[in-house]
Every structure is written in structure tokens, then in C-alpha cells.
Chains A and B, each alone.
Chain A
């Protein structure tokens, strides 16, 4: 009879011996497992929290509308000299019809100007509410829906009516349980009649998008001063046109503002997407550091595995000798010890995954951070842990396999 042990047999037998030995040394197994487990847990918790941040940020950004552009003399994220932007020419209202004529790809356009004010109704008062002056087209640009009443109309703008459409936060705080439509609120001691309410948008970077009151643009100017620079919010047909629109707008806006050739643009075209890039730059560095910390923890865990495997090899020297005498090949011994190392690590990985996910969940419950762990991350965690075990098990396994059977059998 010929002895033909396949790798499959080696692996199966290795796994059996590994589980046997792990069970036999419970305390040691648990302690070793902890090392890897803590590494995986750290890594997963961090990755989970960051993934959660990313997902919620992008979800919120999407609520801005992927097909919108905001033209202003200020960029959204000011880098460097604020005064440089402050001193740029303001846009003027008479430029808006010309802009629309020059840029037929714009499907909706609204000026937008805002200030922070106190808003009250009856005994209820709210401070730091964004009062925003816009036109009747703003609704489709901003991506709100009307949940009650109506939106601002062209007629409201023409006759400078003191009407207001309330964001969801304002409606709920000032009018708990009743409909605000038809009632009169006070904004910095001026009266506005509520004509509608807006759907809820949620938060972007922890700032509520629903803490606002929309009023007609001209009404804003006549109540709160004409001098304020405004932004031009605009929508194109769909997201695929944003880039083209941006390119063409540069030329159109330069002509509109009579920018001298050779001079840099004296305006900014802001997009939600640009915010995403800035955000990615910010979090990217954080991500790197956090993952680095997790990896170092795993490395420490791996060294723990190597240490315990070397002890295991020493303890079982005679067993190795017996197995070799009875026909185990070197490969069989290598596989046996690799399986043991990988099993400890995989168990640690599983443990770490559970703890890591739990941590991320708890964090998402007690803080505004939304944890989000994807299946690939979980599988990756367990797989990676097993890989660490394999890697750090190689040296001890090779030592075991290279023992001289005669010496090993004699080992006391």
C-alpha cells in the first residue's frame, strides 16, 4: 500500500488537532485570542465610524441636489484671504435675466440671500434661525417638498408680500400639533404670514437644514437691507450636465461681470461635490492614522501568536517526534501548526468583529456619529486576522517541521 496523504487530509487533520489543542489550553487560547481580537476590534470600530460618517455625509450632500450649482463672489470653503473675496463686485438683480438668456441650459434660477434672526409665535421664541430670501423657483433647486400650504409665488415677489414658508424644525417648534398655515409669525419684530411648510431634509455635517424660514427675495431686501451680496442658486437638467454647465458658466459670468482678459475669475461656482472633496481630504488623513493604529495593534497581536506557537512547539516536541515516526511528513507538521495559529487568530478576528461592531453601534447610539459597517469590512476583519495568524505562525511551524525526529522522540 502506498502512502498518499493529500493536502486536504493534512488540512483536515491539522484543523482537528488545532481545535483539540485550543480546547485543551483554554486560558492560553483566550489570552492569545484577545491580542488579535483587540486589534481587529479597534480597526473595525474605527473603520465603521468613519464609514458611517462618510455615508451620512454623502447622503446629506445628495439632498442638496446633484444637479445644482451656486454662483457667488465667495467660495463655500474660504482658504486664505477673506478680504480678497469681500472686495469682489457684488452680483446685481438685473444681471439675472441676462444670465438666464445667455445660459439656456439653466432650468431653474433663484437669487439667495440670508441672515440669522429671532423668530417667534405667541410665547414661543427661537433664535439663530436662518431667514433666506429666494424666488418661486428655489423650491425645485433646493430639493424641498411642500408639506402644507404653498410655496412663494411670482405674485408674492412682485408686490413684496410679507409671507413666509417654514422649515420643518421651525414649524414643529413654534406650532406643536397645529398647522402653521395662515398664522402670523414675527421675525426680528416684523410680521410675516405663514403660507406653507417644507419637508424635512435632515442634517449636513451636524447642522440642521430645516432651521430656516424662506421669504420672497424682494421682501427680504425691503425688510433687512438691500446692500447684502446674494448668491445665485441654479439647477441644470441632470447631474451629467453639471460639468458642462460649469465650463460654460465661467465664460458667461466673465462677460456678464466684464472681467478683464488675463484677470482671474472674480466669482466662484460652488457645488456640493466640491464640498465632498474637501471633506475627503480632511477625513483621509484621519482615516490613515486610525487604520495605522489598528494595524499596529494587530501586529502586536500577531507577535503574541508567534510567541505562544513557539511555546506550543516546544511543549509538543515529543508529539512531533511521534507523528514524524508514524509517517507524518514535514508538510503535515507545518500545516498542523499553521492551522492552529490561523484558528486562534480567526477566533480572535470573530471576537474582535463582534466587539468592534458593538462599539461602533454604541457610538452611533450615544453620539451623533452614525456608524455603518459593510459586510466586506466584517469579512475582511476575520480574513485579515486569520492571515496575520498564518503569517506569524510560519516561523514556529517551520521550526516544528524541521525538528530531527530522533531528537524530538528523546526530548524530555
Chain B
């Protein structure tokens, strides 16, 4: 277990005793029951868990799409756990680059326009926006497809467009939700390699997944079960503890 406590130690992400309670049909569902951990700049961390473990809720909180019921979430030195809706929109735009399982590209816009989108909400002029978007597409080797719409791209290409979109705003962290879940294994591998490159380039990556195999590739993994952390260590160890060496692919 890594040291969970200790805010103000210069970490990019610090969550302290976070809970999230939903009310569904009069019943109280405790999706997170006091979660505490920190992530430093440049780390690549997998958050792993079965469905219902609270990992999706954790990802929504980390992505500032949702706010915790109690506890504190410090992101890049800012307490984002009690921010207003509009303030959170700004945080999402500046600090977070999302990568979704289903890519979530706008189907009627070109790859380039999709990548530009976060910069539009930053109020950037069209010319600069385009240049930056092209540069981001270059990082994922897709400049030759930038005028194509998502339905003209393969699954792997779509996910690379989504990664370019996450990179374009130079966020503090990339937050990926099952990024290989909709891809065949070869294409998935391609994307994981891209993550490895990004990690080497110094990006902070948080990857939410239920696949031990994927978690095993990450230097660090945090395992959630029933809304609590049950393991926090190297990706290999955590993955093996979940699935055994065969399934974890290590």
C-alpha cells in the first residue's frame, strides 16, 4: 500500500476519505466508502475493479463530472470537491483529457474538428486551434485522416482521434475509461503502446478498467472492491492477485 494521506505534498491528485452516496428508488447506495490515495505527476495508474466496485464512480469524480458526497479532492492544487457546475466545466477543460471506451466522437464532425473541440470551449482563435489540433493528430500519426469523419475510420483510428482530442488541451492528466474495451486485441495493443509512449513523454495517465491484463501493463494499480481500496501496488502484483499469472498475462 502506498501512503494515502498527506495532502499538500505536491501531488497532482490527492483524494481524502471520499464517499459518494446515491439514492436510487428510496434506497441508499454507497458507491464509494471513504477512499484515500494520491497520484504524482507523471505516474501511470490503473484503477481496477469488477462492475459495481465503484470504479466508474471513482472515474466520474476524478474527471470532475461528479462531486463526492463527502471528503476532499485536490486536483493540481485546487479543491475541486465543492466547486460549482461552471467552475467544474473549466477544470475539465483545462486539467483533464478524457478517453472513453466508446470514443465519444461527434459523428458528423471531421477528426480535426473533433480534436479542436476542447479548444473551442477555451475561446481560442480558429487558426491557432487548427494548428494545435493538427499537432495533436500528428502525435497519434493520424494527420493523413484528419478530414475524415469517425464513420470513415477504423476503431483503432477513432480511439487515436479521441486520444489526440485529450492531448490537444495539454491537460494535467489523461483519464481513460476502458480505452481498449471496444477494440480487438491487436488494436488494443496498439493503443496500450501509445499509452506507454505518452507515459514516457511525461504525461500523467489514469486508466480505469476491469481487465487485469491491462492493469498489469501499468506501473501502479489501485484495486477497488465494494467502494473501498483493497490493493494498491505495482500493476503486475495487483493484477496477479486478482486473476492469477495466466489470466493477467504476466
A: which residues have CB within 8 A of B? 1-6, 9, 13, 20, 24, 318-319, 321-332, 405-406, 409
Question: In this assembly, does B108 line the interface, its C-beta being within 8 Å of a C-beta of chain A?
Answer: yes
Cβ-defined contact, A6 with B93, below 8 A: no
Query: Which B residues, 134 to 174, have Cβ-Cβ distances below 8 Å to chain A?
Result: 165, 169-170
Cβ-defined contact, A330 with B85, below 8 A: yes
Cβ-defined contact, B100 with A5, below 8 A: no
Q: Which residue of A lies closest to B166 (CB)?
A: A326
List the B side residues contacting A1 at CB < 8 Å.
94, 122, 170
List the A side residues contacting B169 at CB < 8 Å.
327
Q: A20-B108, A319-B106, A406-B66 are in contact. Are A326 and B123 (CB under 8 A)?
A: no
Question: In this assembly, does B41 line the interface, its C-beta being within 8 Å of a C-beta of chain A?
Answer: no
How many angstroms from the CA of A332 to the CA of B66 in the assembled complex?
A: 19
How many angstroms from the CA of A6 to the CA of B125 in the assembled complex?
A: 12
Return A333 CB to nearest CB of chain B, in Å. Answer: 10
Cβ-defined contact, A3 with B90, below 8 A: yes
- Checking A20, A329, A331, A409 against B104 with a beta-carbon cut-off of 8 angstroms, the contacting residue is A409
How many angstroms from the CA of A9 to the CA of B126 in the assembled complex?
A: 11
B: which residues have CB within 8 A of A? 60, 63, 65-66, 85-86, 89-90, 92-94, 98, 100, 104-106, 108, 117-118, 120-123, 165, 169-170
How many angstroms from the CA of A384 to the CA of B63 in the assembled complex?
A: 43
How many angstroms from the CA of A409 to the CA of B123 in the assembled complex?
A: 23
Cβ-defined contact, B106 with A406, below 8 A: no
When A and B form their complex, which 7 residue pairs have the shortest distance between CB atoms, in order from nearest?
A327-B93, A327-B121, A3-B90, A329-B89, A5-B123, A9-B123, A3-B93
Cβ-defined contact, B65 with A327, below 8 A: no
List the A side residues contacting B165 at CB < 8 Å.
326
Question: How many cross-chain pairs have Cβ atoms below 8 Å apart between A and B?
Answer: 75
List the B side residues contacting A330 at CB < 8 Å.
85-86, 89
Q: A2-B90, A20-B108, A319-B106 are in contact. Are A325 and B98 (CB under 8 A)?
A: yes
Cβ-defined contact, B108 with A409, below 8 A: no
List the A side residues contacting B63 at CB < 8 Å.
325
List the B side residues contacting A332 at CB < 8 Å.
121
Show 15 residue pairs from A and B whose CB-CB distance is below 8 angstroms, ordered by the A residue. A3-B89, A3-B93, A4-B123, A318-B104, A321-B104, A324-B92, A326-B165, A327-B93, A327-B94, A327-B169, A329-B121, A332-B121, A406-B60, A409-B65, A409-B100
Q: A3-B121, A9-B123, A13-B120 are in contact. Are A327 and B104 (CB under 8 A)?
A: no
Q: A325-B92, A327-B90, A329-B89 are in contact. Are A405 and B123 (CB under 8 A)?
A: no
List the A side residues contacting B85 at CB < 8 Å.
329-330
How many angstroms from the CA of A2 to the CA of B120 in the assembled complex?
A: 13
List the A side residues contacting B106 at CB < 8 Å.
319, 322
Return A48 CB to nearest CB of chain B, in Å. Answer: 40
Cβ-defined contact, B121 with A326, below 8 A: yes
Cβ-defined contact, B123 with A327, below 8 A: no
How many angstroms from the CA of A322 to the CA of B150 in the assembled complex?
A: 15
Interface of A, helix, strand, loop or mixed by DSSP = helix
List the B side residues contacting A325 at CB < 8 Å.
63, 65, 92, 98, 104
List the A side residues contacting B93 at CB < 8 Å.
3, 326-327
Q: A324-B89, A327-B90 are in contact. Are A6 and B123 (CB under 8 A)?
A: yes
Q: Which residue of A lies closest to B85 (CB)?
A: A330
- Checking B86, B94, B104 against A322 with a beta-carbon cut-off of 8 angstroms, the contacting residue is B104
Q: Which residue of A lies closest to B86 (CB)?
A: A329
List the B side residues contacting A20 at CB < 8 Å.
108
How many angstroms from the CA of A332 to the CA of B120 in the assembled complex?
A: 11
Other A-B pairs, 7, CB within 8 Å; known A5-B121, A24-B108: A3-B122, A5-B122, A5-B123, A6-B123, A327-B121, A329-B89, A409-B100
How many angstroms from the CA of A35 to the CA of B223 in the assembled complex?
A: 57
How many angstroms from the CA of A319 to the CA of B123 in the assembled complex?
A: 19
List the A side residues contacting B98 at CB < 8 Å.
325-326
How many angstroms from the CA of A322 to the CA of B118 in the assembled complex?
A: 10
List the B side residues contacting A24 at CB < 8 Å.
108
Interface centre among B92, B94, B120 (most CB of A within 10 A): B120
List the A side residues contacting B60 at CB < 8 Å.
406
Q: A319-B106, A327-B93, A330-B85 are in contact. Are A405 and B65 (CB under 8 A)?
A: yes
Return B211 CB to nearest CB of chain A, in Å. Answer: 20
How many angstroms from the CA of A13 to the CA of B120 in the assembled complex?
A: 8
How many angstroms from the CA of A330 to the CA of B89 in the assembled complex?
A: 9
Cβ-defined contact, A328 with B122, below 8 A: no
Interface centre among B63, B104, B123, B165 (most CB of A within 10 A): B123
How many angstroms from the CA of A318 to the CA of B104 in the assembled complex?
A: 8
Cβ-defined contact, B123 with A3, below 8 A: yes
Return A197 CB to nearest CB of chain B, in Å. Answer: 72
Cβ-defined contact, B65 with A3, below 8 A: no
List the A side residues contacting B66 at CB < 8 Å.
406
How many angstroms from the CA of A322 to the CA of B104 in the assembled complex?
A: 7
List the B side residues contacting A326 at CB < 8 Å.
92-93, 98, 117-118, 121, 165
Q: Which residue of A lies closest to B125 (CB)?
A: A9
Q: A5-B123, A406-B60 are in contact. Are A323 and B117 (CB under 8 A)?
A: yes
How many angstroms from the CA of A350 to the CA of B118 in the assembled complex?
A: 34
Return B104 CB to nearest CB of chain A, in Å. Answer: 5
Return A320 CB to nearest CB of chain B, in Å. Answer: 11
Cβ-defined contact, B104 with A328, below 8 A: no
Q: Which residue of B lies closest to A318 (CB)?
A: B104
List the B side residues contacting A319 at CB < 8 Å.
106
List the A side residues contacting B105 at CB < 8 Å.
322
Q: Which residue of B lies closest to A328 (CB)?
A: B121
List the A side residues contacting B94 at CB < 8 Å.
1-3, 327
How many angstroms from the CA of A43 to the CA of B49 in the assembled complex?
A: 64
How many angstroms from the CA of A327 to the CA of B122 in the assembled complex?
A: 8
Return A93 CB to nearest CB of chain B, in Å. Answer: 87
List the A side residues contacting B118 at CB < 8 Å.
326-327
How many angstroms from the CA of A405 to the CA of B93 in the assembled complex?
A: 14
Return B242 CB to nearest CB of chain A, in Å. Answer: 25
Q: Which residue of A lies closest to B94 (CB)?
A: A3
